[in-house]
Structure 1
Amino acid sequence: MAMFVHLTSASAAPRVRRAGIRAVSHGQDGLRGVYCFPVLPSHTLTHQWLRELARFGTRGGLVAVHLRLDDAQEVLVGRYGDRLGGAQRTVRAAEAVGRIAALDDPRGWEVFVPRAVRPGEIHRVRAAPQVSGWRYAPDAHGTRPCTCYGCRERGGYGTRRLRERLPHPLDGPPPAPRALLAQVEAVGDPGDPAVLLDTLHWYGLRRRGPLPRLARLAAHPDPAVRRALAWAVASWTTPGTDALLAALAADADRGVHKAAEAVRELRAPET
């Protein structure tokens, strides 16, 4: 039996013990399953993904879920960037462990199980060190930080000053909320799609927003605006956001429907 470790929020530990790990993560070729990493002799390498995953927010910190898979279980293995190019290889679980253990530098590698992990496959759940691993990418320390929306650490120490010093041309400090709302109201109803798309882009970089004032855009005649609205509220904690996404998920336009469903999956708590 091959042993792997999966990192998840401490708040999900009781559910993991009771029901296993749900297949909610998206892998190569649209597969849904569970990300994990082999248990290696090096404690640091085994938990290398911890600091990177912690950047995206956890409830109660992270815990390490050790799971045993049959040696013949098919999994995907490769570096984290390989999945985007479809370069991860399908191998058996035992081979995935051997392949990663033989690497001179296994940092940034991952294993993807294309299914849920059953409760009987959970070996144990234990506390994990909260300071192990790399952030952003292996060997990122000492390189010029990127301030784009995908790379920056929201709420991290010094993040605001860093963005002001090194603004990104597309994801730099957004206009003030008052200015954004003025843009939406100035275009009228239904409004110029180009202006609304630009405004919704900046709203997507915020954690909250004036949902009652933007909800009317869910009925905008341009489906591109409705899609942008779904992505703009993806990380919002504003009350009513889930109801708006449910309405967009029922949209007659296929693109709007798929965007809203994708956002709802991203917002769903993972185990």
Structure 2
Amino acid sequence: MPLPLCCAAMADFVHLTTARAARRIERSGIAARSHGWEQRRGVYCMPVLPSFTLTYGWVRELRRWKGGPFVAVHLRLPDGEPVTVGHYGSRPREVTAAQAVAVVRALEDPRGHEVFVPRAIAAAEVRRVRDVPQGVGWRYRPDAHGRRPCACCAPSGGYRVAQLRNRLDPPPQVAPKSVLMARLRTATDADEIIEVLYDLAVGRRGDAQELAYLAEHPDPEVRWTLESTLRSYRGPQARRLRERLAAMDDDG
């Protein structure tokens, strides 16, 4: 007979996410929105290590892609939980949660390593959410310091860095609003809707009333993403719609 959750051996991990998701995660857990190898969905995290800097080392790099501020979600998984572990960009190993902790702790330099849990994290598995310094960790790549600048590792604000990045690694172009709205109208599941909402959050998009129908969407992730997207919209319609979403969230 398996041990109850409170008695089983457990492994501690940290998941980094934006501060605006903290309240939702404390109440509902972490949705399996990330894509791992072989297109499995789940949650990325890092073992809790003796070093504060190494435990939260992904903060600075993640802020390059998702803004911030970020918070740390501490979670606890059974030792036997199936996960994968490896350095980003390389095929990970399939291990248990306890083995993943041992693998990362044994590394001379664990920067850039990550653990992937191929499922959602339940609210009961979340121990706490804490603030973390926003400048902790590495940026561009773990060993970027001291290397000749290039499009992927040149420090922001350096001489002609923007021109270098745009020439060698052009920023992705967001589709026009008309194209995004057409995609939104034909979206068939929550993930497609969320992807379009992320793109709509880039720049000023005008009439927020066009998105009002999504406030009644049954998937809470869609509603939370909509509320975040509306921060890029101006005017009383956007404000009222955000207030309506906040009220629904409080009631739900």
Instruction: Tell me which interval the TM-score lies in, with the shorter structure as reference length.
Output: 0.5 to 0.7
Deviation at 1:58, TM superposition (A): 3.4
Deviation at 1:130, TM superposition (A): 1.1
Q: Aligned partner of 1:49: which letter?
A: W
Percent identical pairs in the alignment equals 48
Q: Contact 1:211/1:240 (CA < 8 Å) preserved in 2?
A: no
- Name the count of aligned residue pairs: 193
Q: Contact 1:67/1:121 (CA < 8 Å) preserved in 2?
A: yes
Structure 2: gaps spanning 5 or more residues: 1-9, 184-195, 212-221, 229-252
Question: Which residue is 1:108 aligned to?
Answer: 112
Q: Is 2:135 the partner of 1:131?
A: yes
**TM-score scaled to structure 1, two decimals?**
0.61
Q: Contact 1:63/1:125 (CA < 8 Å) preserved in 2?
A: yes
Distance 2:21 2:108 in 1: 33
Q: Aligned partner of 1:44: which letter?
A: T
Q: What are the Cα deviations for residues 65-111 of structure 1, in whole angstroms up to 9, with x where unaligned?
A: 100000000001000011xxxx2111000000001101111111000
Q: State the superposition RMSD in angstroms.
A: 3.5
Q: Is 2:77 the partner of 1:69?
A: yes
Pick one of 31, 37, 41 that aligns with 1:28.
Answer: 37
Q: Contact 2:141/2:153 (CA < 8 Å) preserved in 1?
A: no
Deviation at 1:20, TM superposition (A): 0.3
**Cα distance, 1:40–1:236 mapped onto 2, change above 3 Å:** same
Pick one of 92, 99, 121 that aligns with 2:103.
Answer: 99
Question: Which residue is 1:41 aligned to?
Answer: 50
**TM-score scaled to structure 2, two decimals?**
0.65
Distance 1:2 1:210 in 2: 45
Q: Aligned partner of 1:64: which letter?
A: A
Alignment of 1:224-239 (within 5 A): 236-237=202-203, 238-239=205-206
Question: Which residue is 2:6 aligned to?
Answer: none
Distance 1:67 1:121 in 2: 6
Deviation at 1:136, TM superposition (A): 0.9
Question: Residue 38 of structure 2 aligns to a residue in which SS?
Answer: helix
**Cα distance, 1:145–1:95 mapped onto 2, change above 3 Å:** same
Question: Which residue is 2:173 aligned to?
Answer: 205
Q: Is 2:130 the partner of 1:121?
A: no
